Amino acid sequence: MKKIINDPNRVVSDMLRGIAAVNPKVEYFPEAEVIASKEKREKVGVISGGGSGHEPAFGGYIGRGMLSAAVAGNVFASPSPDRIIKGIEEANGGKGVLAVIMNYSGDLMNFDMAKEMAEMEGIDVEIVVVKDDVAVPDREDATGRRGIAGTLLVHKVAGAKAEAGGTLAEVAAVAQKAIDRVRTMGMSMSSCTIPAVGKPGFALGDDEIEIGMGIHGEPGIERTGVKSAKELAAILIEKITADYDYSGSEVAVMVNGLGATPLMELYILAGEAEAVLKEKGIRPWRWFVGNYMTSLEMAGCSITLLKLDDELKELIDAPCEAPAFRV
């Protein structure tokens, strides 16, 4: 295993310490593995979190116009309720806190417990759950559709609404509107290595890719031969548009890398995606291309579409000072 680390069992702590070292606007709370904004103002706080290994999610999205705090679990593992309650406390500006989480059983259970604990302290908390991965059938519980890269667009609109002075109910409502309108489909070309494990979690042949693989290495819907960028754009967008009607709509488009895919390839894919969307009568209004929701050093990508209206356009376009998400 070749990684730039110290102790495989301390990678999360060392990473968070590094984030705080280079960003003077945030504070690291090592006892809870929480990164929070130093700026404390009277507004709705927006937090997120989950397993580490998806950087820059979630610590890179703290800043005016996006998240107030982020809670880190161990690599690919949910943070515990005691960590989450610290994140809620640090995000609380007196107007309540919205937690934007992804649809995984550990996150659902632990954030729900932390919500109850926070409300005993007199902090109003709402939770919204992102499940944008169309590779998985939609169900009402955590055995269904996973949350992946579309989560970042939900962070963006929720953070912008909070920054504009929205109430907790208003921030939660616009976050839910984005959740209802966002869909993602991804693919993988390689595995990744969890530092504490020291070896890849699965194997793909030199001529194999997996369509629909999850960001923790969960099985996809098909293993197939290597595809061109043009073919991949068509496959991923067809799966998205089969699940939700984007025809005639303006959309925000995210072309996301999983950690090891060069930007050159992501921009090639974006160009092909633009052609596919145009063919389908879907109008890209804003593009985001880069590594937003990764899976350690996995090679692969995902495409996300968010159907926009005037409110969501304004919130997506609002200023944002998060280091990893510039508008």
Percent of the chain surpassing pLDDT 90: 93
Question: Mean pLDDT in the chain?
Answer: 96
- Write b or e for each residue in 303-316: b if 16 or more Cβ atoms lie within 10 A of its Cβ, otherwise e: bbbbbbeeebeebb
Res 96: pLDDT: 98
- Write b or e for each residue in 64-85: b if 16 or more Cβ atoms lie within 10 A of its Cβ, otherwise e: bbbbbbbbbbbbbbbbbbebbb
pLDDT of 174 above 80: yes
Over the stretch 217-235, which tens digit does the pLDDT of each residue have?
A: 888 999 999 999 999 999 9
Radius of gyration of the chain (CA): 19
Q: Name the band, by pLDDT with cuts 50, 70 and 90, for residue 45.
A: very high
Q: From 3.40.50.1100, 3.90.1150.10, 3.40.50.300, 3.30.1180.20, which CATH number describes the 182-316 domain?
A: 3.30.1180.20
Res 139: pLDDT: 74
Over the stretch 141-153, which tens digit does the pLDDT of each residue have?
A: 656 799 999 999 9
Q: Where in the chain is the domain with CATH 3.30.1180.20?
A: 182-316
Look up residue 273 and give its amino acid. A
Quote the pTM value.
0.97
Helices vs strands, H then E, count in the chain: 8, 12
**Residue pair 72/16 in contact by the 8 Å Cβ criterion:** yes
Query: Residue 323: how many CA atoms within 13 Å on its side-chain side?
Result: 15
Res 202: pLDDT: 84
Res 239: pLDDT: 97
| Distance, CA of 161 to CA of 55 (rounded, Å) | 24
Over the stretch 11-37, which tens digit does the pLDDT of each residue have?
A: 999 999 999 999 999 999 999 999 999
- The SS3 call for residue 211 is strand
Q: Where in the chain is the domain with CATH 3.40.50.10440?
A: 10-180
Catalytic-role residue among 161, 183, 216, 239: 216
Catalytic-role residue among 15, 28, 48, 54: 54
User: Is there a catalytic annotation at residue 155?
Assistant: no
Res 272: pLDDT: 98
Res 137: pLDDT: 85
Which architecture characterizes domain 10-180 according to CATH? 3-Layer(aba) Sandwich (3.40)
